[in-house]
A = this chain, B = another copy of it.
Amino acid sequence: MQPDLHSRALAAHTLHQFRILSPLTHCMTNEVVQSFTANTLLALGASPAMVIEPEEASRFAAIASALLVNVGTLTRERAAAMRAAVEHAQNAKTPWTLDPVAVGALEFRRRFCLELLSLQPAAIRGNASEILALAGMNSGGRGVDTTDTPAAALSSAQALARQIGTIVVVTGEVDYVTDGQRTVCVDGGDPLMTRVVGTGCALSAVVAASCALRGDRLDNVASACSWMKQAGQIATQQSNGPGSFVPAFLDALYNLNAQEQA
């Protein structure tokens, strides 16, 4: 069965709600993308906070609107802080999202991610190789690059979503968003986005923040994907390469549906 294409009108409606809520988004993410992640959330109207000390992170996860855990530059110390934060998030009913960066290539983080799956993530966002590895279909992947297409990972993503009771997002040329029953797809974007570090990681932060919204979570998460795809498309048209893409992308997020803001 062909997944339905997510509606841009719905994405615009959800963005309006997102800007009103301005979710306080606790990001425990990797060293490389912290600034771009924060700027992405700020451009969309959310309020990012990067808090990492175990005691502080536990406390903050409970008062934040949403929590992101990204294992890109995992260490033992950071893993302990993330585990504590996720446990406090779960107790406080703060929705938390997992980005299992490069989980197919590295055993330490794979074990950590599998352990976290028992703590009920609201969403998981990865590329095809990462989702396949998390679902036990180890395809490897080449560092953070995917060697599989999103379509090839779709049935594994659906099975994983049903098994854990979560939303799984497989991103690539087309993004698939599934809860195991319903699946929607989101198009747009541009291959240039793969030449800019952190576009996937920043999407995971926006997915995390979107889980703080009321209403249908599958639609909210698909809307998050849609905002990023739309901004990526606009920014590519306005840029001469991956350098000028970054400011154009953040501007596009900020100005998305500006008429609706007015």
Binding site for B on A (CB under 8 A): 24, 30-36, 38-39, 42-43, 47-53, 55-56, 59-60, 63-64, 72-77, 102, 105-109, 142-145, 194-198, 239-255
Chain B residues whose C-beta falls within 8 Å of the C-beta of A31 in the assembled complex: 31, 34, 50, 52
Q: For residue A57, which residue of chain B has the nearest CB? A: B106
Chain B residues whose C-beta falls within 8 Å of the C-beta of A244 in the assembled complex: 247-248, 250-251
Taken together as a complex, chains A and B put the C-alpha atoms of A245 and B106 apart, in Å, by 36
In the complex, the count of this chain's copies comes to 3
Q: Are B247 and A56 in contact (CB under 8 A)?
A: no
Chain B residues whose C-beta falls within 8 Å of the C-beta of A198 in the assembled complex: 35, 38
Taken together as a complex, chains A and B put the C-alpha atoms of A113 and B76 apart, in Å, by 25
Q: For residue A251, which residue of chain B has the nearest CB? A: B241
Q: For residue A240, which residue of chain B has the nearest CB? A: B251
CB-contact partner of A241 in B48, B194, B254, under 8 A: B254
Chain B residues whose C-beta falls within 8 Å of the C-beta of A245 in the assembled complex: 247
- List the 6 closest A-B pairs by CB distance, nearest first: A243-B250, A241-B251, A243-B247, A241-B254, A38-B197, A49-B143
Q: Are B42 and A195 in contact (CB under 8 A)?
A: yes
CB-contact partner of A51 in B47, B73, B242, B254, under 8 A: B73
| In the complex with contacts A39-B242, A241-B43, A106-B59 CB distance below 8 A | yes
Chain B residues whose C-beta falls within 8 Å of the C-beta of A143 in the assembled complex: 24, 47, 49, 60, 64
Instruction: State how many angstroms separate the Cβ of A244 from the closest Cβ of chain B.
Output: 4
